[in-house]
RNA sequence: UGGCCUAUGGUGUAAUUGGCAACACGUCAGAUUUUGGUUCUGAAAUUCAAGGUUCGAGUCCUUGUAGGCCAACCA
C-alpha cells in the first residue's frame, strides 16, 4: 500500500498549495457520483484518487450524490453505489446529496437575479441552443436577457411555484454570449421539471443544472480540491464564475482540477451501452461477471485490493490512455496468489487407469493448501486406481518441450506418485477414451524415498474418479474482440461482442471443495483462479473463472 | 473556420523543475520450482517533427504535425 512512488500531478498541486500556506487540516475531498447507473472500473479510478488522497493526507472525503436530475436518478443506484464503495474498502466522512442544498442554491439564485446576473428566458430550449451558435461564431443574445430584476424575480418565483409548463422557462446566468467557451454563453441554471425526486419528492419543480449545483456544493462542503475528469475542463471558467458570485474570502476557495479518465482495453464504460448489454440480454445483468461494473468484477472474483492496486499502478495524468488489460490480470493474480487455497479440478477430463495400482484401494494423501502461505495448512485428497486428468495434458508422443504425459516419459501426479504412460484406448473416431499407465509405488510424494525425489519434468493435477465432485464451471473471456469496441462511431459496438466470452463446462473437483461457500476464491491448480458463484445450489457448485494462471506453455505451443 | 487540453519504450506512468531518461505491466532469455504458477537474474525497447536558446533541452522559445474535448433545459 505505501510503496515509494513519485507524486502524480494532483499530488504536486496539493503539495504546492500546502507549501504556499494552505492548512493541511482544511484539505477535503469528495466523490460525486450521479445516482443514475452502476459504478464501473472507471469510477473505481476516481474513487481511488479521491479516497486515496483522503487517506494520504488524513483528510475527510464526502460521498456526495449529484442528484439534480430526477428524470434519471433512482434510490436503487444510490444503494448500489454505496455498497460498491464500501466493498472497495473506503469510508466516506459524510453521505451528502446535492439535493440537500436546493434551498441554499435557490436563495443564491435569487441574489444573482437581484444583482442583475441572471434572468428568466421564455424561449424554448431549441431556440436557446440555436442562439448560442457554434464555437466558431459568436452567439446571439436572448430578447429576454435584459428584462427587469422585478420581472425576473416574479417569473423565477412562479417557476418555482409550478405555474409554468416544463420547457417554457429557464433561469439563465448572464455572462457572455460571444465567449469562445460555449459554457459561458448564458448557461441555464434552472429548468422546470415536474418529476418527483427520490429524496425531495414533489417539493421542487425547478432543478439546478450541474454547473450551478456542483461547484456551489463543493463550496458549501468546503471541498478544497474538486477533482473530476478532463471533459469538465471547459466548465472550469464557469465553475469559477459561479463561485465568484457567492464566495466569502474567509472561507476555503474550492478549486476544480481535471485528470484523464481511465480506459481499459476490451472494455466499455458508457452507461448507455452497458445498459444496452443488460437490456438486450447480451449479459445476464449488471453483475454479470463479464461486465466492467464493480458488481460484475466482484462476482467475477476480483478483490478490492486488486482493483485498488490496479489503479495505483496505472497512475494519474492528463493524456488519453488505454490500459492493457494485462495489468488488471496481473493485479488480480498477484493478490489471489497470496490468499487462494490450491485445489485440484479437472476441466476437460480423460480417464487414466493405473494398471498396477490395486483395484478397490484408496489412499488419502496429505497436500499443502498454499505454498505461498504455510499457515494455510494441509488437506487430504483421495487417490485411487482410476483418475481424471486434463485431456490436454496427454499426447501419445511429443517433442522435448512437452513436459506432460506421453507414452514415453514419466510425470508426477501432483501430491501423489510418478507415473509412466503405457497405452491408450480410442473410439471409432480416434479420440482417446482411456489412458493406461503404471505408477512407481516408491515415489509417493513427501515419503522421502529416493524414488520420490526423482526429478521429472512435468507435474499434473488429477482427481480420483470415484471421489470426484461434479461442478459447473463458467469460463469467462473478454466480452469484446477488439480493444476499443466503441471507438468507431460508424460501427455498432455490439458487432464486436466476443461469441466465446462464456463457456460452461462440467468439471470434476476433489471432494473437499464441497464445503466451499459462495464468494470463496480458490486456485484450480495449474489452471487459474475461480470463485463460487451465487447461482450455486445445494446440489451443484458453480464456479466463475476470475483469471487464468500465466501460461507460458500455451504461448510456446501456439507459437509453434 | 474558434477556444481549451495532451504528446516520453508495445502499454501505463516518472524524471529533484535546464544536469547520466527511469519504474511497472507486457515481451524475450536464463535460474529455481512436486503448479510450464510463484520467486530470482538478465536482455531488447522510449522523449511527435523541424528549427532555435544553452556548456548542456524530455523540460525553455518558434513553427508545424497528430490526437482529444467543447455547440443538453445531461452529469
Burial A403-416 (b: 16+ CB within 10 A, else e): bbbbbebbbbbbbb
Residues A36 and A62 both lie in one domain: yes
Judge contact between A411 and A460, C-beta under 8 A.
yes
**Which of A's residues 8-37 have CB atoms within 7 A of nucleic strand B?**
8-9, 12, 32, 34
Please report, for the domain that includes residue A393, its CATH number: 2.40.240.10
Same domain, A105 and A219: yes
DSSP collapsed to 3 states, A496-530: HECCCCEEEEEEEECHHHHHCCCCCEEEECCCEEE
pLDDT at residue A75, rounded to an integer: 95
Q: Is the CB of residue A392 inside 7 Å of nucleic acid strand B? A: no
A28 CA to B74 C1' distance (Å): 27
Give yes or no: residues A184 and A117 share one domain: yes
Instruction: Indicate if A397 and A479 belong to the same structural domain.
Output: no
Residue A285 burial (CB count, 10 A): 14
In a domain, A14, yes or no: no
Share of chain A above pLDDT 90, in %: 94
Instruction: Write down the pLDDT at residue A560.
Output: 62
Average confidence (pLDDT) over A277-306: 98
A404 touches strand B (CB under 7 A): yes
- The band of A251, judged by pLDDT with boundaries at 50, 70 and 90, is very high
Q: Cβ(A449)–Cβ(A443) under 8 Å?
A: yes
Domain final residue, candidates A415, A437, A461: A461
CATH number at residue A249: 3.40.50.620
Domain count, chain A: 3
Both A111 and A182 in one domain: the answer is yes
Return the axis-axis angle of helices A102-114 and A236-246, rounded to nearest 10°. Answer: 80
Q: Cβ of residue A183 near strand B, that is under 7 Å?
A: yes
Q: What is the pLDDT of residue A2?
A: 40
What Å value separates CA A236 and C1' B71? 17
Residue of A271, A313, A351, A409 with catalytic role = A271
- Structural domain boundaries enclosing A494: 271-341+471-559
Nucleotide nearest to A444 (CA to C1'): B34
CA–centroid distance for A265 within its chain: 13
Q: Which residue has the cell 521429472?
A: A456
pLDDT at A3 over 80: no
The reply to whether A89 and A183 lie within a common domain is yes
The alpha helices in A294-402, defined as continuous H runs, are 294-300, 304-314, 325-339
The whole-number Å distance from A40's CA to B10's C1' is: 26
- The candidate with the shortest Cα–Cα distance to A44, out of A230, A327, A295, is A295
Measured CA A260 to C1' B67 distance, in angstroms: 14
In the predicted structure, residue A466 carries a pLDDT above the cut 80: yes
Q: Which residue is nearest to nucleotide B17 (CA to C1')?
A: A12
A329 touches strand B (CB under 7 A): yes
Catalytic residue list contains A34 = yes
With a threshold of 0.95, tell me whether the complex ipTM lies above it: yes
- How far is residue A92's CA from residue A94's CA, in Å, rounded to a whole number? 6
pLDDT value of residue A489: 83
Quick one: average pLDDT of A332-346? 98
The pLDDT tens digits of the residues spanning A374-410 come to 999 999 999 999 999 999 999 998 888 999 999 988 9
A298 and A381 in a single domain? The answer is: no
Environment class of A172 (CB within 10 Å of its CB; exposed 0-12, middle 13-18, buried 19+): buried
Residue A355 has a pLDDT of 98
Considering only residues 268-327 of chain A, list those whose CB is below 7 Å from strand B: 313-324, 326-327
Q: What is the residue-averaged pLDDT of chain A?
A: 96
| Nucleotide minimizing C1' to CA distance for residue A454 | B34
Of the pLDDT bands very low, low, confident and very high (cuts 50, 70, 90), residue A1 is very low
Based on the fold, state whether residues A403 and A515 are members of the same structural domain: no
Mean predicted confidence (pLDDT) in A20-42: 97
d(CA A429, CA A410): 27
Which tens digits make up the pLDDT trace of A503-560?
999 999 999 999 999 999 999 999 999 999 999 999 999 999 999 999 999 988 876 6
| Residue among A375, A431, A387 at smallest CA distance from A411 | A387
Question: Residue A367 and residue A414: Cα distance in Å, rounded?
Answer: 9
Check whether residue A308 and residue A431 sit in a common domain: no
User: For A430, left (φ over 0), alpha (ψ -120 to 50), or beta?
Assistant: left
- For chain B, which bases have at least one atom within 7 A of a protein Cβ? 1-8, 10-15, 17, 24-28, 34-39, 67-75
Cα–Cα distance measured from residue A560 to residue A550, given in angstroms and rounded to the nearest whole number:
18
The number of angstroms, rounded, from the C-alpha of A4 to the middle of its chain's C-alpha atoms is 25
**Mean pLDDT confidence for A317-339:** 97
Give mean pLDDT, residues A143-154. Answer: 98
Which one is catalytic: A261, A276, A379, A478? A261
8 A C-beta contact, residue A386 and residue A351: yes
Q: Which of A431, A461, A491 is the last residue of a domain?
A: A461
Is A191 within 7 A of strand B by CB distance?
Answer: yes
A477-512 burial, b at 16+ Cβ within 10 Å, e below that, comes to bebbebbebbeeeeeebeebbbeebbeeeebbbbeb
Interatomic distance A553 CA / B42 C1' (Å)? 21
Q: Using the CB atom, is residue A399 less than 7 Å from strand B?
A: no
Mean pLDDT of A478-499: 94
Strand B contact at CB of residue A454, distance < 7 A: no
Comparing CA positions, the residue from A312, A313, A302, A307 lying closest to residue A340 is: A302
The Cα–Cα gap between A397 and A404 comes to 10
Enter the pTM of the model: 0.96
pLDDT beyond 50 at A425: yes
Q: Say yes or no: A169 and A33 in one domain.
A: yes
My answer on whether A401 and A535 are in the same domain is: no
Show which of A259, A288, A312 is a domain's final residue: A259
**Is A126 found in the same domain as A232?**
yes
Q: Is A271 a catalytic residue?
A: yes
Q: Cβ neighbours of residue A411 under 8 Å, at least 6 residues apart?
A: A403, A404, A405, A418, A419, A456, A457, A458, A459, A460
Amino acid at each position: 500500500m505505501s510503496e515509494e512512488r513519485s507524486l502524480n500531478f494532483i499530488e504536486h498541486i496539493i503539495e504546492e498549495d500546502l507549501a504556499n500556506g494552505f492548512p493541511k487540516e482544511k484539505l477535503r475531498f469528495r466523490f460525486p457520483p450521479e445516482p443514475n447507473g452502476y459504478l464501473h472500473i472507471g469510477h473505481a479510478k476516481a474513487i481511488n484518487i479521491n479516497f486515496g488522497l483522503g487517506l494520504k493526507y488524513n483528510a475527510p472525503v464526502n460521498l456526495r450524490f449529484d442528484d439534480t436530475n430526477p428524470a434519471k436518478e433512482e434510490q436503487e443506484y444510490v444503494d448500489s453505489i454505496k455498497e460498491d464503495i464500501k466493498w472497495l474498502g473506503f469510508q466516506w466522512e459524510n453521505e451528502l446529496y446535492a439535493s440537500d442544498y436546493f434551498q441554499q442554491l435557490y436563495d443564491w439564485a435569487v441574489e444573482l437575479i437581484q444583482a442583475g446576473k441572471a434572468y428568466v428566458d421564455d424561449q424554448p430550449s431549441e431556440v436557446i441552443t440555436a442562439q448560442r451558435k457554434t464555437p466558431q461564431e459568436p452567439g446571439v443574445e436572448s430578447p429576454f436577457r435584459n428584462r427587469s430584476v422585478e420581472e425576473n424575480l416574479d417569473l423565477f418565483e412562479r417557476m418555482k411555484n409550478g405555474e409554468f409548463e416544463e420547457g417554457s422557462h429557464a433561469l439563465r446566468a448572464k455572462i457572455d454570449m460571444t465567449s469562445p467557451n460555449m459554457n459561458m454563453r448564458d448557461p441555464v441554471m434552472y429548468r422546470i421539471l415536474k418529476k418527483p425526486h427520490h429524496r425531495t419528492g414533489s417539493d421542487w419543480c425547478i432543478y439546478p443544472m450541474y454547473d450551478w449545483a456542483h461547484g456551489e456544493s463543493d463550496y458549501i462542503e468546503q471541498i478544497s480540491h474538486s477533482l473530476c475528469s478532463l471533459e469538465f475542463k471547459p466548465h472550469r471558467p464557469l465553475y469559477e464564475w459561479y463561485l465568484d458570485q457567492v464566495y466569502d474570502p474567509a472561507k476555503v476557495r474550492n478549486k476544480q482540477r481535471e485528470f484523464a479518465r481511465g480506459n481499459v482495453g476490451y472494455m466499455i464504460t458508457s452507461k448507455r451501452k452497458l445498459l444496452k448489454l443488460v437490456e438486450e440480454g447480451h449479459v445476464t445483468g449488471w453483475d454479470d461477471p463479464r461486465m466492467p461494473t464493480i458488481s460484475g468484477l466482484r462476482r467475477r472474483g476480483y478483490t478490492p485490493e486488486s482493483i485498488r492496486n490496479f489503479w495505483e499502478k496505472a497512475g494519474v495524468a492528463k493524456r488519453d490512455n488505454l490500459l492493457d488489460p494485462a495489468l488488471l490480470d496481473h493485479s488480480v493474480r498477484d493478490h489471489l496468489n497470496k490468499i487462494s487455497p490450491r485445489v485440484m479440478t479437472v476441466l476437460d477430463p480423460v480417464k487414466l487407469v493405473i494398471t498396477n495400482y490395486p483395484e478397490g484401494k484408496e489412499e488419502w494423501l496429505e497436500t499443502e493448501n498454499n505454498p505461498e502461505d504455510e499457515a494455510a495448512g494441509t488437506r487430504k485428497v483421495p487417490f485411487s486406481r482410476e483418475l481424471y486428468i486434463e485431456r490436454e495434458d496427454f499426447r501419445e508422443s511429443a517433442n522435448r518441450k512437452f513436459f506432460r504425459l506421453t507414452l514415453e516419459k514419466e510425470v508426477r501426479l501432483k501430491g501423489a506418485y510418478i507415473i509412466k504412460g503405457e497405452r491408450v484406448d480410442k473410439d471409432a473416431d480416434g479420440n482417446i477414451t482411456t489412458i493406461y499407465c503404471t505408477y512407481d509405488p516408491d515415489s509417493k510424494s513427501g515419503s522421502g524415498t529416493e524414488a520420490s525425489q526423482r526429478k521429472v519434468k512435468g507435474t499434473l493435477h488429477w482427481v480420483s474418479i470415484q471421489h470426484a465432485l461434479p461442478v459447473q464451471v463458467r469460463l469467462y473471456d473478454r466480452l469484446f474482440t477488439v480493444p476499443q469496441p466503441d471507438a468507431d462511431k460508424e460501427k455498432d459496438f455490439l458487432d464486436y461482442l466476443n461469441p466465446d466470452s462464456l463457456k460452461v463446462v462440467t468439471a470434476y473437483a476433489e471432494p473437499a471443495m464441497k464445503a466451499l461457500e459462495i464468494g470463496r476464491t480458490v486456485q484450480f491448480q495449474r489452471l487459474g483462479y475461480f470463485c463460487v458463484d451465487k447461482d450455486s445450489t445445494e446440489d451443484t457448485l458453480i464456479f466463475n473463472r476470475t483469471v487464468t494462471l500465466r501460461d507460458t506453455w500455451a504461448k510456446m505451443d501456439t507459437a509453434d
